[in-house]
A = this chain, B = another copy of it.
Amino acid sequence: MVNQISTKTFSVNGKTYAPPAAPVVVICIDGSADEYLDTTMAFDRLPNLKKMTQQGYRGMVRGALPSFTNVNNSSIVTGVTPAVHGISGNFFYDAAKDAEVMMNSADYLRADTILAAASAAGRKVAVVTAKEKLRDILSHKMEGIAISAEKANQAKQETHGIDGVEAIVGHPTPAIYSADASLFVLRAGVAFIENGLADFLYLSLTDYMQHTYAPEAEASLAFYEAMDAEIGKLLALGAVVGATADHGMNAKVKTDGSPNVLFVEDMLEAQFGAGGFRVICPITDPYVKHHGALGSYVVVHLEDQAKTDEVRKWLSIQPGITEVYDRATAVHVLEQPEDRIGDLVVLSGRDVVVGRKPKYHDLSALDGTLRSHGGRYEEMVPMVLSHPLNSAYTMKAAGDPRNFDIFDFTINGTN
């Protein structure tokens, strides 16, 4: 592999990146609560992540809220908060249009991406995402390869920057509800570096496995072991690797194992009367086997704005609810875009999800007990780096590092 790798410095969203002459690989292990690393490592099934911990760095970083996939993927590829990039979930309610609007499109992205800037600076960029839904945002204005595992066999040079993905990767397009959906992403990364097709990669996995299995389940242990093997290949290819997660994952169940749900619109109607509330669950997406549109974060729109503080106060002390903010406060405390949240923003506990009404949530498609995310208890996630931190970034890692600093840490922070 003889490639000239560009080390040209580039800037985006107020940060400057000085990439090394080695392949740079940032991995978002979707839904990877730290417990998955803890448990799999204790069983000696993460030799490469263990080596990265020994030789590089492992610590905790704080994600963006809500702790959802597209919010945090948008933050990771832009390096900024949702207040800046504008993606606050999969859906928001546009009051002017009286419509619930899906945000899985770069049209809603308000910041440029590190990937586009890297490609403009001469890096061979590849973004591989498990779910097709993320591809548009992640590849915004970018030159290079942009594919999803879900639709790998539909990738074409004109639209995706590559032909014949399955042959190059050596694996067929995986089922989306599978461990392979994530493993394909990593395998594609390995193949693209091996073939000189990319030297600056963002590999974004899917959390089907974490939604379905607890860390100690054999299926999860085997999945993490297989991921680790691919990470080992990236390291062997000389890549500088940084891995983090978009959000954690917790069982959202009562002690009998049944889903622990607060239907917020029903609760509000029972307390304050029907008709005045619209609850939006911004976790809602087309992938039905993950969470049934139930996470630990919803927003509430009130017909009667004068009631906002009364409703806030009442919701704040309901068991299972952990935080409630009015719009102005949420902008500050939760780093939200003011026009894409609700009059109130509601977070729930480690074992609690918040929903709208039962009819909006179908849990029959789940493959396991309800495990989900979205709130404060899925905010903290691991960061693992292949190379040791330099002194400035050792300080930064000791303060309040963010998961969306992962490109910064991987590129600028390591020796």
Contact = CB atoms under 8 A, between A and B. Distances in A.
A253 B395 contact: yes
Interface in A346-403: 349-352, 369, 376-377, 380, 392, 395-396, 398-400
A402 B328 CA distance: 33
A317 interface: yes
Nearest to A382: B38
Interface centre among A60, A316, A328, A329 (most CB of B within 10 A): A60
Given A53-B38, A350-B62, A376-B376, A260 B329 contact: no
A170 interface: no
A39 interface: yes
Contacts of A399: 251, 253-255, 260, 350-351
Instruction: State how many copies of this chain the complex holds.
Output: 2
A35 interface: yes
Given A255-B395, A349-B400, A38 B54 contact: no
Interface string A37-67: 1110111000000100110011110100000
Nearest to A49: B42
B214 A398 contact: yes
A333 interface: yes
Contacts of A251: 398-399
A300 B54 CA distance: 44
A38 B35 CA distance: 10
Given A42-B54, A351-B400, A395 B317 contact: no
A323 interface: yes
Contacts of A376: 376
A257 B395 CA distance: 6
A37 to B, nearest CB: 7
B380 A255 contact: no
Interface in A297-328: 313, 316-317, 319, 322-323, 328
A195 B217 CA distance: 40
Interface of A: 34-35, 37-39, 41-43, 50, 53-54, 57-60, 62, 214-216, 251, 253-257, 260, 313, 316-317, 319, 322-323, 328-329, 332-333, 349-352, 369, 376-377, 380, 392, 395-396, 398-400
22 contacts: A37-B38, A38-B38, A38-B41, A38-B53, A38-B58, A42-B50, A42-B53, A42-B58, A214-B398, A251-B399, A253-B398, A254-B399, A255-B395, A256-B395, A257-B398, A317-B328, A317-B332, A323-B323, A350-B399, A350-B400, A377-B380, A380-B380
